[in-house]
Amino acid sequence: MITKQDLAKIIDHTLVKPYATKNEVIQVCEEAKKYGFGAVCVNPFYVKLAANTLKGTDIKVCSTVGFPFGSNSLETKALEAKKAIEDGAKELDMVMNIGALKSKDYEFVKQDIEAVVGIARKFNVIVKVIIECCYLTNEEKIRACLIAKEAKADYIKSSTGFGPSGAKVNDIKLIKRVVGESMGIKAAGGIRTVSQALKMIKAGATRIGTSAGVQIIEGLK
């Protein structure tokens, strides 16, 4: 059975709602310190605040990139990634260009991911690619995973949490079958209970993205 400490370490404690306040970001960071979460995930505006609040800890700051639609230009995503890193981000959760994938413009999808990965690599920063499973067929999910792998991203992430549905066990299992041990897998979107988190881990998730980290840890017996 997984311990509270082990589970906390793979949770990205998340606050990416558009109306989040500075005090709420600070609160999330303090919760991360108390419970030992692996990372705090915030939108770019709050990266510097989170980094300052978490200074002196081993908790990483994760910034969103191209969030939540993924339809920014390649150049915009690259610039956003660079600024987030300068502000203190050690991990980036970038949204794949979903429309480009569904248009079968696979080369652009790869270039889009590579633009962010190329910058991240210079600073030893982790890149997670959000493929937003709810909009994709299984064939498209497989293609997205293979492109992200080829572009040398570190993780596949299932969802932004802003689509019509979030993480699903079957999607995590599919991603696991495609990438195996070569990439990490982050399940995110609608995970609010211990039971849900454990099911995702059993399916192959190596990270859990959730705004309910405290609830999940306190619910683990």
pLDDT tens per residue, range 130-177: 999 999 999 999 999 999 999 999 999 999 999 999 999 999 999 999
Given a contact cutoff of 8 angstroms between Cβ atoms, the answer to whether 49 and 22 are in contact is yes
pLDDT tens digits, one per residue of 53-81: 999 999 999 999 999 999 999 999 999 99
Distance CA 39, CA 73 (A): 27
- For 19, counting Cβ atoms within 10 Å of its Cβ (0-12 exposed, 13-18 middle, 19+ buried), the class is exposed
Q: Please state, in angstroms and as integers, the Cα–Cα distance from residue 8 to each residue in 68, 148, 206, 220, following that order.
A: 25, 26, 12, 10
Helices 74-87, 106-122: axis angle to 10 degrees equals: 20
Taking residues 72-101, what's their average pLDDT?
Answer: 98
pLDDT at residue 22 in the model: 98
Whether the upstream peptide bond of residue 68 has omega within 30° of 0, thus cis, is yes
pLDDT at 132: 98
* Verdict on whether the full-model pTM lies above 0.75: yes
Q: What is the pLDDT of residue 1?
A: 80
pLDDT at 221 over 90: no
User: Where does 4-219 sit in CATH, by number?
Assistant: 3.20.20.70
For residue 93, indicate whether it is catalytic: yes
- Catalytic site residue from 157, 168, 171, 176: 157
Query: So what's the pLDDT on residue 151?
Result: 98
200 pLDDT higher than 90: yes
Which listed residue (12, 93, 154, 171) is catalytic? 93
- What's the whole-number average pLDDT of the chain? 97
> Is pLDDT above 90 for 32?
yes
Q: How confident is the model at residue 95 (pLDDT cuts 50, 70, 90)?
A: very high
- Report the pLDDT averaged over residues 200-221: 96
Q: Domain map of the chain by residue range?
A: 4-219
